[in-house]
A and B are shown apart, each in its own frame.
Chain A
């Protein structure tokens, strides 16, 4: 691809089709901040169905951009269940019948570039996330819900991988609890889910109950209200017009002006961009929130500046 793939403020390229990119440009010109919101609190997939088809060329490029050595075939295979689903719902063991097993691996790896797979796409998305935080690329489990392969993908080969039933059942019925020695109370179903929210530069933290919100939009508004008092006298230094006094819209401008990024710490202790995964999954794994200065996020500021300039 000769034209550089457009990146949003966080360094994640707009995926897949050129059409998608131009959509974004249009919406920015309209000033529809929500759609093109730098904060990206909306669920990316839900707003942009065209993400589902992807161009293998782009995927490879992403692999290149993120520095991962993995090729397309790897991205395909990473899903694991995608491999199994090739056999169709009618008995995955058929896929691995002796007649095809010799070629099975190769065939899967090489020849199916055209088969769009959300699982693959997610893999790509997460690889970009490597730019922001050094986390191993992971297949977003949310891929499961967006995965149109689902019933067949769950078909498993009998007795594979070779793990004793006892061990499988143990891990299944006692999913290991993750280290929760921070202050997040993560008991499910207890009715509230308070997490700390910090904002860079603010003198104190706040706590929010994630259960009281149903979506990223609600959370985002609530946070904006909460933290607007901390933005007195601060400019977006990237050309956002200054306003008199404090106001929610000022904070919104700041947030959308990409001076700040909303991130969260998940169960594994990694800092993630808010908005990538389905809301439910987010609330299940979020331990604390941090409204981070864009300049703290790697590779962020310059692109954000570009974005703002483009907008204005």
Chain B
């Protein structure tokens, strides 16, 4: 699509055409309204002024990857007809407690503008934002058409806020509460949905701990005939799950509750029947406290399963193997490392269509390393799953040779996130750095968009990345590199780089300043526990006024040391809501 417009724009008649408006605005807007991808829309808006205007009037969904890159007023000015907003706030490393508590990213300032400019707002999807109960209540009463709320990795709110949403949003279709820092004060929020309320299509409260009133839930599920996504929490037992499934065989995504109740054989049969009536399930998750003997009850529902999320279910290798036999259509699989290499061999054998694999550690701190996956499991998966293009793999040991084998088997990786959990760990068979492993990744996987590196790495890794990773957009680095040169290679070599996050690496001011020109084409840069000083950051801020350079100081650290640095492009100027511990230079 891009190239066609370019041709149009560059052809000698294009200017004339637009002036003569052979496309009346209404037609152009109508056509452009069919565009959904925000990247396409950005391209469209650059064609010419008419197209820019037609695009902005026809846009109904806006995606803002960094809430501080723009202000709500600017957004509202450009896009008058927005119905749906996606906002991301804190730097990603806030998920790992590296960002101070009160850093910012509060949604309220946005809501206040939206209530005036977008009174018919329908959808809000937030990631790593702070949202208070007051904001949730404000949201629920101020937007009569509000339909869809999705919160991931957010904090600042409690179940009281959810109660407000349930009480006031008469047209709610989606309530999706994913892994958040929520203050769980009990499950009574669920009872706030009025008896007359029937519009729910998506309900996800899997990550809330408290018990909910099951009768209320059951009635809700049975009267919401359009319900297609239901993810319950651990308080829901197998027997209760069976009753819910009996009311909602139309579900396409199911998150079970606890999977470990003692069932009589009759109950077991009933559950199996309930699952076999669910012919449309393509996504399955939950399985908290799973007891493998009950897994066969869900086999009948697995025929069309494309996404299986077992990342909270501690299955062993053999148990996983038995389950996978029933899931021939699997495209995405998330597991815990309790399945060990044996389980991953089973993945390789049973899941030829697999595209995404994530292996999480059950015991990340290694207090009791009873289970883990190794390079053998990784190779086994790659042998059997040649379509694999997304991997997130937590392990404690890896070898260069293994990674080379994996990418030889699966050259189409777009997302390669390898986390060797012991910082600075070399190839355990050769004792060499893991440079060649990641070199193989970037050389072989030309479509690579996202890379996370780990293990003992020298500047050579970054030379490889700069030289070969031409499609790389996101890079995460920890405990790696030997000198400024490494970071410079990346900044100079990766044309599509948008997000760079670095921690505990020997990169200093020289490296930071080598990217002066680069940062405006990137969304953001994070550097913590590196060799940056305040002066270096000031120099950057001085040279690049359209970047916000934020320095977060740790208590008791050296005065001149810049402990945590967050740099991002913005058209909104320096932010005014930063707490005292965050200096904007």
Q: Which residues of A contact B (CB under 8 A)?
A: 69-71, 73-74, 77-81, 83, 93, 96-99, 101-102, 104-106, 108-110, 136, 138-139, 141, 144, 156-168, 170-171, 174, 176-181, 268-269
In the complex, how many residues of chain B place their beta carbon closer than 8 angstroms to a beta carbon of chain A? 71
Contact of B289 among A73, A177, A181 (CB under 8 A): A177
Q: A73 contacts which chain B residues (CB < 8 A)?
A: 426, 428, 431
Q: What are the nearest 7 A-B pairs in CB distance?
A: A105-B424, A176-B314, A80-B366, A159-B96, A105-B456, A98-B506, A141-B368
Q: Quick check: is B414 within 8 A (CB to CB) of the other chain?
A: no
Assess whether B319 is interfacial by the CB under 8 Å rule.
yes
B424 x A167 contact (CB < 8 A)? no
Q: Known: A96-B423, A104-B423. Contact between A179 and B504, CB under 8 A? A: no
**Chain B positions 389 through 416: 1 when the CB is less than 8 Å from some CB of chain A, otherwise 0:** 0000010110000000000000000000
Q: Which residues of B contact A96 (CB under 8 A)?
A: 423-424, 479, 504, 529
B118 on interface, CB distance cutoff 8 Å: no
B interface list, Cβ under 8 A from A: 93, 95-98, 153, 179-181, 207, 234, 260, 288-293, 311-314, 316, 319, 336, 338, 340-341, 360-370, 372, 394, 396-397, 419, 421-426, 428-429, 431, 433, 455-456, 458, 476, 478-482, 503-507, 529-531
Chain A residues with CB under 8 Å of B338's CB are 176
- A162 in contact with B95 (CB, 8 Å): yes
Can you offer 19 A-B residue contacts whose CB atoms are under 8 A? A71-B428, A74-B428, A80-B366, A98-B505, A98-B531, A101-B504, A102-B481, A102-B506, A105-B456, A141-B367, A141-B368, A161-B421, A163-B96, A164-B153, A167-B360, A171-B312, A171-B362, A177-B289, A179-B292
- Contacting residues, chain A, for B362 (C-beta < 8 A): 171, 176
Q: Taking A101-B480, A141-B367, A160-B96 as contacts, is the C-beta distance between A80 and B506 under 8 angstroms?
A: no
- A110 — nearest CB in chain B belongs to which residue? B431
**What is the chain B residue whose CB lies nearest that of A266?**
B370
Known: A78-B369, A139-B369, A269-B316. A166 touches B292 (CB 8 A): no
Verify A102–B180 contact, CB threshold 8 A: no
Q: Quote the shortest CB–CB distance from A262 to chain B (angstroms).
A: 22
Nearest Cβ distance between residue A290 and chain B, in whole angstroms? Answer: 20
- Are B529 and A162 touching (Cβ within 8 A)? no
- Among A69, A70, A73, A176, the most chain B Cβ lie within 10 Å of the Cβ of A176
Query: Is the CB–CB distance between B505 and A163 below 8 Å?
Result: no
Q: Are A165's CB and B97's CB within 8 A? A: yes
Contacting residues, chain A, for B479 (C-beta < 8 A): 96, 101, 104
State whether A158 touches B98 (Cβ < 8 A). yes
- Assess the B458–A138 pair: CB atoms within 8 A: no
User: B360 is contacted by which of A163, A179, A181 (Cβ under 8 Å)?
Assistant: A163
A163 touches B504 (CB 8 A): no
Q: Which residues of B contact A181 (CB under 8 A)?
A: 291-293
Instruction: Specify which chain A residues have a CB less than 8 angstroms from the CB of B292 in the assembled complex.
Output: 179, 181
